[in-house]
């Protein structure tokens, strides 16, 4: 999802956004998503209340004039109508609607309990739709190797950088924002310090593949005209600025296509799933250690990677001593 963090906002939303960034330590990506959801609701609300013509496309509705008085008029019924719209008309999944609910609950709680701007919290009793937990999509070991080979031999002018980013994704299980924010002084010998969700710091130990890819990228980086604002950034763009989230996504998508891997199924975040799965499946990494590597607050989040793949299930069935039983044999 591409959304300008400073586009189409209103005063209370600006204050809430600053609160999330400065006080709660939410990532810029999380703040973008919450902003998008809240703006979407108020666009719908204005149209539903007849404040704009009924046939106005949702993305053309301006919410910069939303006032505290109007926020105070929002009811739980308004929120339910919006959620019905998301499900029936927009055909959004339970997971997407659950995120919208989380965004709205957080915003209205801020308005009611933190800033005391509204008399009642309309989102207080809104229930979150049940989400069916699915096993994470991940690349196989063969696909991962194929992708790395494609990156290493890519004709791109910045293939050393791209290969290095991919190597860190696949070996360390980094989030997009974590990789983007790596500074040169975050690396000390074989140790990488990353800033994860909630501005929490954790340590990741780099393996030989990571160290080799960094060593190949740094000489190329040293030849670039890097702007002062990106002087510490490990990964920079051709303009000399710290590489953006969008650019990283574009790079990875191009590499996936070069490797013949379906970009409708696999993305940057799937590389994190891949790293976790490969470490657990082939490295036999303890679940608590995997939790620490990935930076999960709860081990229950990490447990999704302890799934058993289809081949293991097939092997288990084949190992049954009755697997070769033939009733015709005497």
CA distances from 105 to 53, 153, 216 (A): 28, 48, 47
H helices, E strands: number in the chain:
14, 3
| 145 and 284 share one domain | yes
Q: Record the pTM.
A: 0.60
CATH of the domain at 158: 1.10.443.10
| 24 and 67 share one domain | yes
| 179 and 259 share one domain | yes
pLDDT at 297: 73
pLDDT at 42: 95
pLDDT at 15: 94
Q: Helix, strand, or coil here: 174?
A: coil
pLDDT at 108: 95
Cβ atoms of residues 140 and 242 within 8 Å: no
Closest-CA residue to 273 (of 201, 178, 132, 169): 169
Per the document, the length of the chain is 330
Q: Tell me how crowded residue 211 is: count the other CB atoms within 10 A of its CB.
A: 15
Q: Helix, strand, or coil here: 194?
A: strand
Q: What is the DSSP letter of 309?
A: P
Structural domains of the chain, count: 2
| 103 and 168 share one domain | no
Ranges of the chain whose pLDDT falls below 70: 1-8, 130-135, 298-330
* Residue 81: domain span: 11-114
Catalytic residues, which ones? 175, 197, 269, 272, 296, 305
CATH of the domain at 77: 1.10.150.130
């Amino acid at each position: 999802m591409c959304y300008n963090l400073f586009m189409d906002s209103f005063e209370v939303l600006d204050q809430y956004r600053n609160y999330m960034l400065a006080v709660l330590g939410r990532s810029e990506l999380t703040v973008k998503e919450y902003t998008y959801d809240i703006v979407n609701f108020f666009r719908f609300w204005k149209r539903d209340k007849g404040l704009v013509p009924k046939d106005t496309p949702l993305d053309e509705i301006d919410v910069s004039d939303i006032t505290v008085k109007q926020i105070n008029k929002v009811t739980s019924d308004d929120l339910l109508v919006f959620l019905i719209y998301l499900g029936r008309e927009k055909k959004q999944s339970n997971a997407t609607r659950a995120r919208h609910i989380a965004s709205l609950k957080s915003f209205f709680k801020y308005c009611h309990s933190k800033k005391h701007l509204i008399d009642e919290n309309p989102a207080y009793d809104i229930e979150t739709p049940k989400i069916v937990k699915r096993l994470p999509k991940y690349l196989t070991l063969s696909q991962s190797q194929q992708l790395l080979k494609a990156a290493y031999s890519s004709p791109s002018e910045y293939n050393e950088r791209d290969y290095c980013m991919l190597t860190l994704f696949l070996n360390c299980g980094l989030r997009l924002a974590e990789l983007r924010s790596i500074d040169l002084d975050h690396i000390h010998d074989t140790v990488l310090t990353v800033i994860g969700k909630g501005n929490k710091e954790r340590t990741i130990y780099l393996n030989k593949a990571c160290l080799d890819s960094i060593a190949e990228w740094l000489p190329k980086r040293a030849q670039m005209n890097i702007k002062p604002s990106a002087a510490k950034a490990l990964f920079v763009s051709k303009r000399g600025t710290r590489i953006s989230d969008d650019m990283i996504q574009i790079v990875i998508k191009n590499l996936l296509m070069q490797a013949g891997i379906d970009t409708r199924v696999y993305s940057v975040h799937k590389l994190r799933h891949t790293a976790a799965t490969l470490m657990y499946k082939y490295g036999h990494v303890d679940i608590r250690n995997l939790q620490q590597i990935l930076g999960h607050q709860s081990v229950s989040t990490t447990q999704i990677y302890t799934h058993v793949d289809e081949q293991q299930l097939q092997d288990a069935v084949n190992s049954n001593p009755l697997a070769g039983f033939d009733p015709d044999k005497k």
